[in-house]
């Protein structure tokens, strides 16, 4: 695993400045680029290429997040966010020091793997962690998880399990250029 793709740059697949399906409340969503898990049936395979997307400094991304109005927090997904551990940790430290925004992180790593690979410091800056690889054989019809093997960890007292079920599961957004953005967990549609 490369815990340090770049010291101060994050490789981004896509940003969605406003979403109501990626955690509790209105959220700024960041899909980081690059994944080595390649889970069969992944609904974001375009995020796998570690050289795809574009780069932005954690300071510039922080400013973009802060300029978003009326958001409760950020949600970070991928790809695999922890492939960019150092710049992501720097961004989260900056957010914690200079804002009251909450943080939800989706990762394919299990909680034990995060500790095994000495990445547990990042857990201090996350309110909700969704951990575990996507398993197409274990579909989940509950909020935030795409397969039943994935676990939800409440790492702060900010949210409870009751907060998880209080939002829509998926959304379609058409941006100003006419691009359609799918967001949320699509396999929860019954």
SS in 3 state form for 79-90? Answer: CCHHHHHHHHHH
User: Tell me: the pLDDT tens digits for 56-113?
Assistant: 999 999 999 999 989 999 999 999 999 999 999 999 999 999 999 999 999 999 999 9
Q: Which residues, other chains included, contact 178 with Cβ-Cβ below 8 Å and sequence gap of 6+?
A: none
Whether 128 is covered by a domain: the verdict is yes
Whether 1 is covered by a domain: the verdict is no
Band of pLDDT at residue 36, cut at 50, 70 and 90: very high
pLDDT, residue 4, reads 43
Residue 152 CB: number of other CB atoms within 10 A? 17
- Tell me which residue range forms the domain holding 80: 9-188
Whether 147 is covered by a domain: the verdict is yes
Whether 4 is covered by a domain: the verdict is no
Distance (Å, whole) CA 137 – CA 29:
27
Whether 179 is covered by a domain: the verdict is yes
User: Tell me: the pLDDT tens digits for 122-180?
Assistant: 999 999 999 999 999 999 878 888 899 999 999 999 999 888 865 556 666 667 787 76
3-class DSSP state of 10: strand
Of 40, 45, 23, nearest in space to 138 by CA: 40
Looking up residue 158, the CATH number of its domain turns out to be 3.20.20.70
- Using alpha carbons only, give the angle 113, 126, 28 rounded to the nearest 5 degrees: 120
Whether 75 is covered by a domain: the verdict is yes
The arithmetic mean of pLDDT across residues 2-23, rounded, is: 80
Whether 3 is covered by a domain: the verdict is no
Number of domains in the chain: 1
Whether 2 is covered by a domain: the verdict is no
């Amino acid at each position: 695993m490369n815990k340090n793709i770049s010291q101060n740059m994050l490789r981004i697949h896509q940003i969605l400045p406003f979403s109501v399906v990626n955690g509790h409340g209105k959220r700024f969503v960041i899909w980081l680029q690059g994944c080595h898990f390649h889970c069969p049936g992944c609904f974001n395979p375009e995020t796998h290429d570690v050289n795809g997307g574009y780069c932005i400094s954690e300071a510039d991304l922080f400013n973009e997040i802060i300029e978003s109005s009326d958001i409760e927090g950020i949600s970070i997904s991928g790809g695999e966010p922890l492939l960019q551990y150092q710049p992501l940790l720097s961004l989260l430290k900056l957010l914690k020091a200079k804002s009251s925004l909450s943080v939800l992180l989706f990762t394919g790593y299990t909680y034990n793997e995060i500790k095994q690979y000495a990445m547990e410091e990042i857990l201090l800056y996350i309110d909700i962690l969704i951990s575990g690889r996507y398993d197409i054989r274990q579909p989940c019809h509950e909020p935030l998880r795409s397969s039943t093997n994935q676990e939800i960890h409440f790492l702060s007292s900010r949210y409870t399990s009751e907060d998880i079920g209080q939002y829509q599961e998926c959304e379609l957004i058409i941006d100003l250029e006419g691009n359609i953005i799918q967001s949320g967990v699509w396999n929860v549609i019954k």
